[in-house]
Structure 1
Amino acid sequence: MTRDKRKKRKDHAGKKAVVKSQKASKQASKAERKDARLNARDSEDEEDIELLLKQFEEQDRKANMVSEETAAPPPSPRANASFVASPLSNTVCYLFGGEHYNGSKLRVFNDLYKYRMDKKDWRKITCALTPGPRSGHQTVALTNGKLVLFGGEYASATQNQFHHWKDCWIFDLKENKWEKLDIATPAARSGHRMTVWKNFVVLFGGFYDNYKTTKYYDDLWLFDTTAYTWTKVETSSTSSKPSARSGFQFFTHNDTCYVYGGYCKKQLEGEREKGVVYSDMWALQMSTDPTALKWERVKKAGAAPPPRAGCAISVHKNRAVLFGGVEDEDEDEDKGGGAGDDASVCQNDMYNFALETKKWFPYAVKKPKTNEPEPATLPATPTGKTKATEPQFDPNLPHPRYNAMLAVQKNTLLMYGGLFERRKEEHTLDDLWSFNLDKQGPWECLQRGAWERATATAAATATGTVDHLPATEATAAAPLADSESDSDSESSDSGSGSN
């Protein structure tokens, strides 16, 4: 019996030990599963954070995404755009914005192009953040590789609504990136002009039109490119200064900024509002002290051009080179200085203004050596009659125009686009020309415009000389359709407009 009791106790103790061991094993297993769940949760949380960070990086990348690709086709026809030479490369110029009216509707652009002179091609730069569509704005280049853009105008397709901008943007040429400055600026306007002196951008004039009132400005502003601040310059009320205007020319030489020409609408007593074209010139003596700035009128000397609106001027060494413009007795439209009636005469001549002697001279343009046939007259009118007074199309020279875009890169003058009027027809151009300023030419056509190709083809067809045209011109039977010529630059209804 005693052995049986000890055996029972021994068996009980063994069973108890087994149960205890099993319980401990279960607890250990439970703890392991708990730890595993916690570790898994931590791992999932880590993966979520990494995914979130990647999403943030992707959003930031898209917000700062920039693409640069060969433009096919090149920029569409346009006027009142900005065209500036790059300060970082002597073979590059930048074109931004502008407008095109095809006779029924207006298109306003906010695309940015880079023209490479060495490659003779256009590159289109696309940024996620960019200024709204506009024309009549101003863009200037700084030596530090940045562009400064201010103002401009947007108009709806029917031109029944206008919006004037007063925003200021910086474009970094090294990063291909726009930045909008959140700062106080001059009043909204277009048709103003800007030029650079030392570390300042100088702004003068322009106009504002909301269909109820039209205001022309004669104010002067300085933009400090180191502090990113605008300052209005208050000149003496007793001293002379240029009258309010838009569409003038504004350029810098040494410590002097020059204003030439321009356009303004004036209400004459007892008469309807009338456009006035200026041909005066003013010099602004610059100083780091804004209170010391002073205007002086420059006397007209030499063989100055006749009064004309929409001419373009660029500076090369010690001279300012003027091209084109439109001469009109009665200016009815404010497109940076002019559109008009049947008396409008567009020009393609050139003048020099000697900045040391302050004298004007006609520019003697060297003609190219060519075996091209004599230019044909423009095609007959719808009545079948060709007027003897119709202008001729010379393929060796830029077509007469106004509001063209000029840029000087080293010794080369580049010209793009602009407007040509014939009777009551207005044509927006998209041709590109170069001119050697050291050798006085000749002009070289780098890109023949669609309208000029069609005009030359029609004229050659009418005279039976179509076989003599270059292949690129003979195959262009008509101007590009609106849907084709502007397909690369659709504008939203949130933007800007004319000069």
Structure 2
Amino acid sequence: MGKKGKREKKGKGAEKTAAKMERKVSRRAKKEEEDLEAMIAEFQSLDAKKTQVIESSCPPPSPRLNGSLSAHPEKDELILFGGEYFNGQKTYLYNELYIYNIRKNSWSKVEIPNPPPRRCAHQAAVVPTAGGQLWVFGGEFASPNGEQFYHYKDLWVLHLATKTWEQIKASGGPSGRSGHRMVACKRQLIIFGGFHESARDYIYYNDVYAFNLDCFTWNKLAPSGIGPAPRSGCQMATTPEGSIIIYGGYSKQGPKSEKRKRRRGRQAEAEGAGDEEMEKQSPQGPVEIVREVVAEDGTVMTIKQVISGPAEEKERSESEEEEEDGALGQQVEPCPRSNAMLAVKHGVLYVYGGMFEVGDRQFTLSDLYSIDLHKMEEWKVLVEMDPKAQEWLEESESDEEGDDMEGAEGGEEEEESSEEESEDEEGEEQHPSVQPDEKHADYLSRTEQYWIKLARSNMGPDAKEKKVVKVAHAMAKTFYEDSL
């Protein structure tokens, strides 16, 4: 055989290898999605037990980041929904709804039947229609070990006057994503950007969609001119004239890194800062942040902010601290953080939670600050951080190498009441139990119809039968493995 024939044979061999790898990656991505769908359906089956609205006073929410904080359009209230918490070994996702009363400086938890599935890195927007509505789109669900991600493309509305959740099903909307941005503008919800990650791909978006709040239809927009490059974690706001401003964001190319850096990179995507920048802003010493703003007349204004970290603060003498306090009074301000939740009401900015890093450790916050944007004089501490709420468990090799579905019962706050925990236990007991020494195949054969019925009830009547069966099998497998 000549050299040409050998090259052709070698080329075909490479093509076959590539095709084989592509099929393998596709199967892995499909399995990951099915496993996560099973976990989501399991949590939804627990949420489905709630049949009435229960509103009760409560302490401030547990530490979290990547949730949404929205100002009620008609009341002096802030609405906190969703978010995530990571303790070094395990990821918890929430779909809880909290209300903060600005005048009373108090929190209440509102349990409403049939809420959206647990998520973080979603977007929320409020409109004053019918006593106020909170609209929620997209976001993601993460496996307990933080290695697998399911991106939502669902749209929900919370009717604030009646305290009811409603899922809005309309075709032609954006693909599943998180880290995107959404604003309400002229009776429309405008969505831009975001990203999607799976075992198969890692995609950033710069597409623009509009959802009409009057006729409930999606429309993909094609703005003229040169638009922003694909990104996530940008800032997006409307102007009084009805224009939309997009600033900054994050986009990263290259192979995926190990778990801890991968998590930090994903968190940066929601905030708009990469690993390198986050390392620079790690609070080990003074940090100078420089931003340039171009004014209308073309002049460039440079803004510098210096943040003192613990290392520098230790070096300051007591006399310097006393002199500063005497001249300016006791100053308070939020510590450096990322992925915090922000809302503005009556010209006052509220900042809740977020994440603060010290070296390899990540501390999730639950404090609440406010500052008057008209005066810009001082920060007010509305809720102090509770040191007892902090927990950090070091990663171990067994944690990283363990089954992706380990800890599938996670997602609940560790400090939840015993009553809620007992409800979860009751929910698990209602599933067909695994008999002693029963093999998975035998268990699936015996209980298959039960799981198919449960999957169907959570996926809706429009779901394809083949998809329902796959999700049902994944749910059965998850429950079987957790019962061993």
TM-score when normalising by structure 2: 0.60
Instruction: Give 1:14's aligned residue.
Output: none
Work out the CA distance in 2 between the residues paired with 1:355 and 1:132.
43
* 1:362-386 per-position Cα deviation (integer Å, ceiling 9, x unaligned): 4999xxxxxxxxx995799xxxxx8
Work out the CA distance in 2 between the residues paired with 1:134 and 1:483.
12
Work out the CA distance in 2 between the residues paired with 1:160 and 1:109.
17
In the TM superposition, residue 266 of structure 1 has moved relative to its aligned partner by 1.6
Instruction: Give 1:178's aligned residue.
Output: 165
Work out the CA distance in 1 between the residues paired with 2:185 and 2:353.
27
Work out the CA distance in 2 between the residues paired with 1:439 and 1:132.
40
Amino acid at match of 1:261: G
In the TM superposition, residue 344 of structure 1 has moved relative to its aligned partner by 3.5
Work out the CA distance in 1 between the residues paired with 2:365 and 2:143.
21
In the TM superposition, residue 229 of structure 1 has moved relative to its aligned partner by 1.1
Amino acid at match of 1:155: A
Cα distance, 1:222–1:396 mapped onto 2, change above 3 Å: same
In the TM superposition, residue 257 of structure 1 has moved relative to its aligned partner by 0.4
In the TM superposition, residue 210 of structure 1 has moved relative to its aligned partner by 1.1
Structure 1: where are the runs of 5+ without partners?
Answer: 1-60, 275-327, 366-374, 381-385, 456-481
1:426 equivalent in alignment to 2:396: no
1:210 equivalent in alignment to 2:201: no
Amino acid at match of 1:221: Y
Work out the CA distance in 2 between the residues paired with 1:188 and 1:331.
19
Greater Rg over alpha carbons, structure: 1
**Corresponding residue pairs, total:** 329
Work out the CA distance in 1 between the residues paired with 2:101 and 2:345.
11
* 1:394-445 per-position Cα deviation (integer Å, ceiling 9, x unaligned): 9711010111111000021100011111222211111100111121130011
Instruction: Give 1:249's aligned residue.
Output: 235
Instruction: Give 2:338's aligned residue.
Output: 402
Which of 413, 420, 425 in structure 1 is aligned with 2:349?
413
Instruction: Give 1:148's aligned residue.
Output: 135
Work out the CA distance in 2 between the residues paired with 1:230 and 1:205.
16
Cα distance, 1:219–1:454 mapped onto 2, change above 3 Å: closer
Work out the CA distance in 2 between the residues paired with 1:410 and 1:363.
27
Cα distance, 1:129–1:80 mapped onto 2, change above 3 Å: same
Q: Are the counterparts in 1 of residues 237 and 244 from structure 2 also a CA contact under 8 Å? A: yes
* Identity in percent: 33
Instruction: Give 1:196's aligned residue.
Output: 184
| 1:339-418 equivalence runs, <5 A | 340=275, 343-345=279-281, 362=303, 377=310, 396-418=332-354
In the TM superposition, residue 194 of structure 1 has moved relative to its aligned partner by 0.4
1:77 equivalent in alignment to 2:13: no
In the TM superposition, residue 350 of structure 1 has moved relative to its aligned partner by 11
In the TM superposition, residue 213 of structure 1 has moved relative to its aligned partner by 0.9
* Secondary structure of residue in 1 paired with 2:54: strand
Q: Are the counterparts in 1 of residues 92 and 412 from structure 2 also a CA contact under 8 Å? A: no
In the TM superposition, residue 160 of structure 1 has moved relative to its aligned partner by 2.9
Work out the CA distance in 2 between the residues paired with 1:433 and 1:176.
27
| 1:85-164 equivalence runs, <5 A | 85-89=71-75, 91-144=76-129, 145-164=132-151
Q: Are the counterparts in 1 of residues 94 and 412 from structure 2 also a CA contact under 8 Å? A: no
* Secondary structure of residue in 2 paired with 1:109: strand
* Secondary structure of residue in 1 paired with 2:69: strand
Structure 2: where are the runs of 5+ without partners?
Answer: 1-47, 322-329, 392-410, 429-457, 460-484
Q: Are the counterparts in 2 of residues 266 and 273 from structure 1 also a CA contact under 8 Å? A: no
Cα distance, 1:376–1:162 mapped onto 2, change above 3 Å: closer
Amino acid at match of 1:183: A
Work out the CA distance in 1 between the residues paired with 2:126 and 2:343.
11
Work out the CA distance in 2 between the residues paired with 1:179 and 1:114.
19
CA RMSD across the alignment = 4.1
Amino acid at match of 1:75: P
* 1:44-84 per-position Cα deviation (integer Å, ceiling 9, x unaligned): xxxxxxxxxxxxxxxxx98762111112x321111111111
Amino acid at match of 2:181: R
Work out the CA distance in 1 between the residues paired with 2:301 and 2:312.
37
* Secondary structure of residue in 1 paired with 2:253: strand
Work out the CA distance in 1 between the residues paired with 2:390 and 2:148.
32
Instruction: Give 1:287's aligned residue.
Output: none
Cα distance, 1:378–1:77 mapped onto 2, change above 3 Å: farther
* Secondary structure of residue in 2 paired with 1:334: helix
Work out the CA distance in 1 between the residues paired with 2:73 and 2:185.
14
* Secondary structure of residue in 2 paired with 1:111: strand
Work out the CA distance in 2 between the residues paired with 1:196 and 1:356.
26
Cα distance, 1:445–1:453 mapped onto 2, change above 3 Å: farther
Work out the CA distance in 2 between the residues paired with 1:168 and 1:206.
15
